Amino acid sequence: MKRTPHLLAIQSHVVFGHAGNSAAVFPMQRVGVNVWPLNTVQFSNHTQYGQWTGEVLAPEQIPALVDGIATIGELGNCDAVLSGYLGSAAQGRAILTGVARIKAVNPNALYLCDPVMGHPEKGCIVPAEVSDFLLDEAVAVADVLCPNQLELDSFCGRRAESLEDCVAMARSLLARGPKAVLVKHLAYPGRKAEDFEMLLVTAEGSWHLQRPLLAFARQPVGVGDLTSGLFLARVLLGDSWVAAFEFTAAAVHEVLLETQACTSYELELVRAQDRIMHPRVRFEARRLAL
Ligand SMILES: Nc1ncnc2c1ncn2[C@@H]1O[C@H](COP(=O)(O)OP(=O)(O)O)[C@@H](O)[C@H]1O
Ligand SMILES: Cc1ncc(COP(=O)(O)O)c(C=O)c1O
Ligand SMILES: [Mg+2]
pLDDT tens-digit map of 165-221: 999 999 999 999 999 999 999 999 999 989 999 999 999 999 999 999 999 999 999
Indicate whether residue 85 lines ligand 2 (CB < 6 A). yes
- End-to-end CA distance of the chain: give it in Å, rounded: 41
The per-residue pLDDT for 95 is: 98
- Pick out the residues of the known binding site for substrate: 12, 47-48, 225
Q: Which ligand is nearest to the CA of 123?
A: 2
Position 42 pLDDT exceeds 80: yes
The predicted model gives 44-50 an average pLDDT of: 96
Distance 187 CA to ligand 1 centre (A): 11
Probe target for ligand 1 pocket from 18, 219, 255, 257, with the most ligand atoms within 8 Å of CB: 219
Indicate whether residue 143 lines ligand 2 (CB < 6 A). no
The per-residue pLDDT for 125 is: 84
The per-residue pLDDT for 124 is: 81
Question: How much is the ipTM here?
Answer: 0.95
* Contact assessment for residue 126 and residue 89, using Cβ atoms and an 8 Å cutoff: no
Position 290 pLDDT exceeds 80: no
The per-residue pLDDT for 123 is: 79
Indicate whether residue 118 lines ligand 1 (CB < 6 A). no
User: How high is the mean pLDDT of the chain?
Assistant: 97
Indicate whether residue 219 lines ligand 1 (CB < 6 A). yes
Indicate whether residue 124 lines ligand 2 (CB < 6 A). yes
pLDDT band at 119 (very low <50, low <70, confident <90, very high): confident
The per-residue pLDDT for 32 is: 98
Distance 184 CA to ligand 3 centre (A): 8
pTM over cut 0.90? yes
Atom of ligand 1 nearest to the CA of 187: 18
pLDDT tens-digit map of 56-81: 999 999 999 999 999 999 999 999 99
The predicted model gives 119-131 an average pLDDT of: 86
The angle formed by the CA atoms of residues 3, 204 and 8, to the nearest 5 degrees, is 35
Distance 223 CA to ligand 1 centre (A): 6
Distance 128 CA to ligand 2 centre (A): 15
Distance 161 CA to ligand 2 centre (A): 26
